[in-house]
Amino acid sequence: MDKIKSSEITPERVYLSRRDFLKSMGIVSASAAVLAACGPAANATADATLNPTEAPAMESEAPAATAQATTDELGDPLNSFEDITNYNNFYEFTTDKQRVAKLATDFRTSPWEVQVGGLVNNPKTYSIDDLRKFEAEERIYRLRCVEAWSMVIPWFGFPLHKLLAEVEPKSEAKYVRFETLYDKEQFPGQKTDIWYQWPYVEGLRMDEAMNDLTLMATGLYGKDLLPQNGAPIRLVVPWKYGFKSIKSIVKIDLVAEMPTSLWMAAAPQEYGFYANVNPNVDHPRWSQATERRIGELGRRASIMFNGYEEEVAHLYDGMDLSANY
């Protein structure tokens, strides 16, 4: 699949701004040791503030929806709050993306508990207030849906590894298994869409879960998450197709065996465990070479690992990515 050079498929604008970004990263990389692409330092390239301001407060009475930057590190603008909160794949409500927001208005996100257990030394049940004690920050990530559309979203949250450090995974733990709330009263799709094996389950390999990009998001645009986006807490794994970023999490287990996700169970030949964004490995029924950025006409070339190659490519060294799709 190497017939096209990457410089040919990447639009020039994107390519150049990426180079600019890399150049500017060189200047700040001394202080930003591990995390490169998406921390406050990356925002600095966009809004030219070299000292990252304090992250916005998590209170619901926070004023208007705001983000600290207006573009991602590649120079592409954020999608609007309106778009992000009204175009949702959340089959627990409905398979109609534009009806999720309406059906989700009465979803109860409080009280809420997340049980973290399995192969850990310190199993713990977190309330939402407990989870808010983790120091949160804004992360601007591209979200690439397996259906070949994408958005740029200013999430707000904390890296998963901080949570995992608290519960102390045992050495036998090889994977992390996540589970969404199972509640047929609140999730009408769990009642009507009997095709799927509810509840929604997703998983990550331990090293993927420990990667600093892997985010537990509790907000976006500086406000608490709305139910349609996976309130009160969801996973965001920006280098993987959107379905990996499981919403409204109630359970996190550390396990020894690779978990079977809902999509793996529904269509194993189409949705694998890894689901890394990869323009060279097509979905059996459609191409993944391009994507439609919501708000744009035409298409743009999709990029390897959704543009997070530097941060995550090493996780898959020696793996056949077309076999491990």
Partner 1 sequence: MKRGSWNLTPLQIITHIGAWIPLAVGLWDLWQGNLGPDIIREATLRTGKTALILLLLSLACTPVNTLFKFRTVLKLRRPLGLYSFMYASIHFAIFIGVDYFFDFRLIQDALLEKRYAIVGLITGTILLLLGITSTKGWQRRLKKNWKRLHRLVYLAGILAVVHYIWLVKQGVSDPWLYAGIVALLLILRMKPVKKWAISVLQPRIPKRA
Contact between 14 and partner 1 per CB under 8 A:
no
Minimal distance in Å, beta carbon 229 to partner 1?
13
Q: Which CB, 7 or 121, lies closer to partner 1?
A: 7
Helix pair 12-28, 40-47: axis angle to 10 deg: 120
Q: Which of 20, 47, 83, 207 binds partner 1 (CB under 8 A)?
A: 83
Minimal distance in Å, beta carbon 149 to partner 1?
6
Q: In this chain, which stretch among 85-93, 122-130, 161-169, 180-188 interacts with partner 1, using CB under 8 A?
A: 85-93
Phi, psi torsion values for 138, nearest 5 degrees: -85, 135
Contact between 98 and partner 1 per CB under 8 A:
yes
Report which DSSP code applies to 298: S
Q: Which CB, 1 or 27, lies closer to partner 1?
A: 1
User: Please, which residues have CB within 8 angstroms of residue 316's CB and are 6 or more apart in sequence?
Assistant: 274, 276, 324
Task: Tell me which amino acid residue 110 is.
Answer: S
Residues 140-159 that bind partner 1 (CB under 8 A): 147, 149
Q: How far is 66 from 51, CA to CA, in rounded Å?
A: 18
User: Please, which residues have CB within 8 angstroms of residue 68's CB and are 6 or more apart in sequence?
Assistant: 40, 43, 47, 52, 53, 56, 138, 154, 222
Contact between 188 and partner 1 per CB under 8 A:
no
Q: What would you measure as the largest C-alpha separation in the chain, in angstroms?
A: 54
CB 263 within 8 A of CB 271: yes
Q: How far is 71 from 73, CA to CA, in rounded Å?
A: 7
Q: How far is 253 from 199, CA to CA, in rounded Å?
A: 14
Contact between 95 and partner 1 per CB under 8 A:
yes
Residues 199-238, one symbol each (x = binds partner 1 by CB under 8 A, - = not), give ----------------------------------------
Task: Tell me which amino acid residue 123 is.
Answer: P
**Residues in contact with partner 1, total (CB under 8 A)?**
29
Q: How far is 103 from 294, CA to CA, in rounded Å?
A: 22
Residues 247-286, one symbol each (x = binds partner 1 by CB under 8 A, - = not), give -------------------xx--x-----------x--xx
Contact between 196 and partner 1 per CB under 8 A:
yes
Q: Which of 57, 122, 295, 319 binds partner 1 (CB under 8 A)?
A: 295
Structure tokens given for 205: 């390999």
Minimal distance in Å, beta carbon 192 to partner 1?
9
Minimal distance in Å, beta carbon 296 to partner 1?
9
Instruction: Determine how many CB atoms are found less than 10 A away from the CB of residue 38.
Output: 24
Contact between 182 and partner 1 per CB under 8 A:
no
CA nearest neighbour of 249 among 134, 96, 128, 122: 128
State the residues that interact with partner 1 by CB under 8 A.
Answer: 79, 82-83, 86-87, 91, 95, 97-98, 147, 149, 193, 195-196, 266-267, 270, 282, 285-287, 289-290, 292, 294-295, 297-299
